[in-house]
Structure 1
Amino acid sequence: MAGALGGFNAHASNIVSAVFLATGQDPAQNIESSNCITMMEAVNGGQDLHVSVTMPSIEVGTVGGGTQLASQSACLNLLGVKGANKERAGSNARQLAKVVAAAVLAGELSLMSAIAAGQLVKSHMKYNRSNKDVSGKS
């Protein structure tokens, strides 16, 4: 397992990509930023489930680059992290990294719930385009 990459989460990179595009991050940084270990542990005698994600290398910024684009800048403003924090250097980027991790946690929980309930395959079969003729031939 030493040096292993990936395989410890359901789909962190999908969520990271979405948040990155929405907030003007460099999408090429998805590779490092998607390092994620999702843990699920039964607690309180099996009555509750503790779910966590560990993401040690999220690379984000709130100044410059794509953060200056209108839609991405508006998204950062909505999150309250646009630009540099004058009182605490780097705190806006740290907060944005927390937003990324929280979104990944929500996505992981949602996907794993769908898998556990047997809904993922059912929904894919219902809405899957492969059962429709998309060849254009009639």
Structure 2
Amino acid sequence: MSKDTMGYRLYGYVIGKEIHFEIENRRLYRLPQGSADKSFIFGSVLFNHTMLHLFVYLLQHGRHTTVPREELLRVVWEENDLVPSSQRLWQVLKNLNRRLSLLGLPDDFIANVRGSGYIINYVDITPIYYRVSELQRCPEIITES
């Protein structure tokens, strides 16, 4: 049984100790853990919809196994009524890895496994869930007459 069917929904991920990813807000940000000096550095990047779908899909399915290129094209592009192409996949992955490296993640956070597909090349990733309230599950508005 998935967490979603048990009353929980995926909120995002914590990557390492400092990187936070909020799916709903399409935001990835870094909150540095304590520092010797009193300076505070905050970094944040936003994702477009295609990049968001690709990143979430890889975090969900590519942390322990390689995700084939054809699967990414189908799930991220075709199922969102977009025209898939290897060139577009390469561009989005290149831009995604560049944004991830801006926040201090390795350049090969998403690695190309030649001839197989793509995999998340990072171990310390923790999914964060929240409990779905009854109000959130029921989209109808109930009013008293």
TM-score scaled to structure 1, two decimals?
0.29
Q: Which has the higher contact order (CA 8 A, sep 6+)?
A: 2
TM-score scaled to structure 2, two decimals?
0.29
Whichever structure has more helix as a proportion of its residues is 1
Structure with max Cα Rg = 1
